[in-house]
């Protein structure tokens, strides 16, 4: 992956207000791949004291966003299909990994998994983006 694209996306995520609100940290990035982490905190619980689906979605979406834009052109979400499989333990560090499984000039499909620890699967997602033929607008800020 081009270092300019990598640096620009890492910098953008560091200053992204939404990522800051949820404590989302971009850990790794490559062409069509991203790894993002988040600590599950009590303010992310639903009315049953379990993980709110929106909190897990935030983590999934950040991995999806960064993986799909890793080619240096704008990609926007078209569809996400998520299966919530388990709720995380209190205070657990969660990791989402997004992997590109197919890419054309106009679309791309990603497989995204959320785990707690090394291998406790919490959620699985398949997501689709529409790829614009426009460079990321913040590339010139590197």
Average pLDDT over residues 81-109: 98
Average pLDDT over residues 38-60: 97
Question: Encoding tokens for residue 64?
Answer: 């999806």
CA dihedral 35, 50, 87, 117 (to 10 degrees): 50
Q: Residue 84's domain is classified under what CATH number?
A: 3.10.129.10
Is the pLDDT confidence value at 121 over 80? yes
| 130 closest CA partner among 73, 58, 83 | 73
What Å distances lie between residue 27 and 78, 128, 137, CA to CA?
25, 22, 22
The model's pTM = 0.97
The residues, any chain, with a CB within 8 Å of residue 132's CB and separated by 6 or more, are: 73, 74, 75, 76
> Across all residues in the chain, what is the average pLDDT?
97
Range(s) of the domain holding residue 105? 3-141
Average pLDDT over residues 112-122: 96
| Domain count along the chain | 1
Is the pLDDT confidence value at 142 over 80? no
What Å distances lie between residue 79 and 43, 84, 129, 137, CA to CA?
27, 16, 7, 23
């Amino acid at each position: 992956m081009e270092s300019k694209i990598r640096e620009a996306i890492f910098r953008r995520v560091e200053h992204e207000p939404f990522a800051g609100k949820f404590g989302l940290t971009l850990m790794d990035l490559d062409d069509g791949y991203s790894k993002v982490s988040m600590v599950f905190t009590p303010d992310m619980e639903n009315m049953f004291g379990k993980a709110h689906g929106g909190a897990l979605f935030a983590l999934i979406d950040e991995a999806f966003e960064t993986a799909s834009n890793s080619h240096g052109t704008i990609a926007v979400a078209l569809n996400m299909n998520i299966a919530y499989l388990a709720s995380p333990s209190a205070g657990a560090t969660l990791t989402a990994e997004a992997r590109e499984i197919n890419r054309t000039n106009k679309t791309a499909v990603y497989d995204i998994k959320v785990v707690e620890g090394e291998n406790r699967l919490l959620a699985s997602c398949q997501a689709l983006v529409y790829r614009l033929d426009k460079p990321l607008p913040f590339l010139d800020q590197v």
